[in-house]
A and B are shown apart, each in its own frame.
Chain A
Amino acid sequence: MNKSWMQKQQWMGYLFIAPNMLGVFFFFVLPTLFSFVLMFTDYRFMRPDVNFVGLENFRRLFKDPIFYESLKNTAIFLASVPVSILLAFFVAVILNRSVYLKNLLRALFFLPYVTSGVAIAFVWMLLFQPSVGPINAMLRFIGIDNPPGWLSTTSSAMYAIDIIWIWFMLGYNMIIYLAALQEISTELMEAAKIDGARSWQTVRHVIWPLVSPTTFLLLVTGLIMTMKTFGIIQAITQGGPGNSTTILSLFVYQNAFRYYEMGYASAISWVLFMIILVITLIQWVGQKKWVHY
């Protein structure tokens, strides 16, 4: 009787998910389809004449030097992800076992992630100020006469952004690692110790392989998240100086809302989408190959 009742209530399932489905359709599915059409047009905001131009936007894109520059900048930006993961791993291993004041320390490392956003980006902008900023004041104090120009020179700006991003992501990665480390059985750790493994060897040959699924997950999600972000860069450098901090996602934004080249911007956004798709596919394949529980 119970079963039949549940059968009868099946339609309620659609009722429960309907509001969300409607929203997701309207704010995700429909815009995606719309964007797919837009990328084949020369649509510019407020211009009435819209033409289908086929693959013209892509032809233009592959000739656009800023596109290649933005790819290079994106690569430098993505390089911050493994660095942050590795640092987070060491912090998590240390905080997991051999310290007092665990909760305080965890909170200190985690705070930047929670308070993210442009507010703290502006603080970094001043910290990095080349002539009077505190970071360079410190560097001069310890004897470096020509400290880098950080955000103000084309050669260093992207790396300065990397530092901010590493600082910001560290807490997130650490939290996930801490959760993963809780899963490692203490017996296994004890066995390693009894076998005479030194701390470093335990970390290198026992802990690191055991958390490899977590590392892989953090790498993939971190890369995707980094591909999608542009807020802090838009806030503090607007992609400059020159185009030295114009990453791909910012390139989309600027074409769409600074130059109102919306067809062109749509085409670029699909290139970005494809890169994310490739990373996701690697995750699917990799999960089967790498992840051993």
Chain B
Amino acid sequence: MDLDLTRQTRKQAAMALPVRERRFVPGKLNVWKLLVTIVMLFFGFLMIVPFVWMFSTSIKSPAETFVFPFKWIPDEINWNHHIKVWTGPKSFVTYYLNSIKIAAVATVGATFLSALAGYGFSRIRFKGREALFLAYLSMMMIPPQVLFVPKFIMFDWIGIYNTHWALILPGMFTILGVFLMRQFFLGIPQEISESAFIDGAGHLRIFFRIFLPLSKPALATLAIIDFSWHWNDYENALVFLLDEKLYTVPLGLQNFILENTVDYNGMMAAATAGIIPMIIVFLLGQKFIVQGITNTAIKG
């Protein structure tokens, strides 16, 4: 009886607390929660096992590669495969420089141009704006497969096929980026523009002096998403680049793998080289990436 009463009061007390605090009421729930956490941790680590295995293999000797049960940390750490990837005639240094150049220039261009158009579509009322924006968005539906052949022919005509410009120039125009920036600018209070107008500022001044500084988080989000997109872009590079010395990291990686079909450790060292920058971007910019993809996905 006594026991029952305490249990009931405890339950009532728990119900009275806001949800967040209720979690800390000691009892059955916490053990359950711990169990669920352990199960989810197991699955979570299963998700990243490919990465762990990749790196582990890249520092193993060939003899140890497929030993079962797995040795996650080899007896003798072997950096030779990484050295092979980064030195020699087909060093990843070239691919890295190419990729960084393309991704950096395209990202800076795309971010700026998206902000510019996003401002135009959100803060300046002009004739045909809504129709134009709709037409603009509808371009997103066109699959890249439709564009590859005509772009290939056009780029050949104007002489940018097999140059980095074939990736940089189209990369500077991202419809999704314009959409993202427009959404962000729509959220900036109208009064800010109005008071600037009264002070005699024009749109250009308002854009550069007020909107660009205000939108640093949105610009960062867009830049990170754009950079990773360019870094990972294999399909465009495959279609528009021919010379090995122009290869980006994904193409270089493919080349390495085609030429070293039995060197599994070397392959994984090369894959590590391709993935490390993305892991760094992920660790530094996870918040921005999450924000960016939720903002672009939940538009309807």
Contacts and interface: CB of A to CB of B under 8 A. Distances in A.
A binds B: yes
A32 B147 contact: yes
Interface in A249-278: 249, 252-253, 256-257, 262, 265-266, 268-270, 272-273, 276-277
B145 A217 contact: no
A54 B41 CA distance: 58
B132 A17 contact: yes
A11 interface: yes
Nearest to B193: A6
B103 interface: no
B48 A2 contact: no
A262 to B, nearest CB: 5
A38 B150 contact: yes
Interface string B173-195: 10100100000000000000010
Interface in A1-28: 2, 5-6, 9-17, 19-21, 23-24, 27-28
Interface stretch (A61-69, A71-79, A100-108, A143-151): A100-108
The 5 closest A-B pairs by CB, nearest first: A16-B120, A13-B126, A108-B44, A119-B274, A117-B232
Give the size category of A's interface with B.
35 or more
Interface string B120-135: 1100111101001000
A123 B139 contact: no
Contacts of A55: none
Interface of B: 19, 32-34, 36-37, 40-41, 43-45, 47-48, 50-51, 53-54, 57, 66, 68-70, 113-114, 116-117, 119-121, 124-127, 129, 132, 136, 139, 141-154, 169-170, 172-173, 175, 178, 194, 197-198, 202-204, 207, 228, 231-232, 234-235, 238-239, 249-250, 253-254, 257, 264, 267-268, 270-271, 274-275, 278-279, 281-282, 286, 289-290, 293-294, 297-298, 300
Contact of B197 (A6, A171, A230): A6
A141 B48 CA distance: 21
30 contacts: A11-B126, A17-B121, A20-B117, A27-B151, A27-B169, A31-B151, A91-B40, A100-B37, A101-B41, A111-B282, A117-B232, A117-B274, A119-B271, A119-B274, A120-B50, A120-B51, A122-B270, A122-B271, A126-B268, A141-B68, A141-B69, A175-B294, A176-B293, A224-B141, A234-B235, A252-B148, A253-B239, A257-B148, A262-B152, A269-B146
B143 A276 contact: yes
A150 B175 CA distance: 38
A32 B264 contact: no
Given A27-B170, A123-B50, A127-B50, A12 B294 contact: no
Contacts of A108: 41, 44-45, 47-48
A127 B34 CA distance: 31
A129 B194 CA distance: 64
B296 to A, nearest CB: 10
> SS class of chain B's interface: helix, strand, loop or mixed?
helix
A99 B145 contact: no
A95 B40 contact: yes
B66 A132 contact: yes
A15 B234 CA distance: 33
Contacts of B124: 9-10, 12-13, 16
A112 interface: yes
For A116, A123, A213, A277, the residue with the greatest tally of chain B CB atoms inside 10 Å of its CB is A123
Contacts, number: 288
Nearest to B29: A98
B193 to A, nearest CB: 9
A10 B129 CA distance: 11
B145 A23 contact: no
A285 interface: no
B153 to A, nearest CB: 7
A16 B235 contact: no
Given A6-B125, A16-B120, A134-B66, A273 B143 contact: yes
Contact of B257 (A24, A107, A122): A122
A217 B267 contact: no
> SS class of chain A's interface: helix, strand, loop or mixed?
helix
Contacts of A141: 68-69
Given A13-B126, A217-B297, A262-B153, A249 B145 contact: yes
Interface in A75-102: 91, 94-95, 98-101
Given A10-B126, A167-B47, A115 B279 contact: yes
B286 A280 contact: no
Interface in A140-199: 141, 167, 170-172, 175-176, 179-180, 186, 190
Contacts of B151: 27, 31
Interface string A194-238: 000000000000000000011001100100100110110011000
B4 to A, nearest CB: 19
B36 A23 contact: no
A26 B53 CA distance: 44
B257 to A, nearest CB: 6
B141 A280 contact: yes
B271 A120 contact: yes
B159 to A, nearest CB: 15
A272 B50 contact: no
A118 B143 contact: no
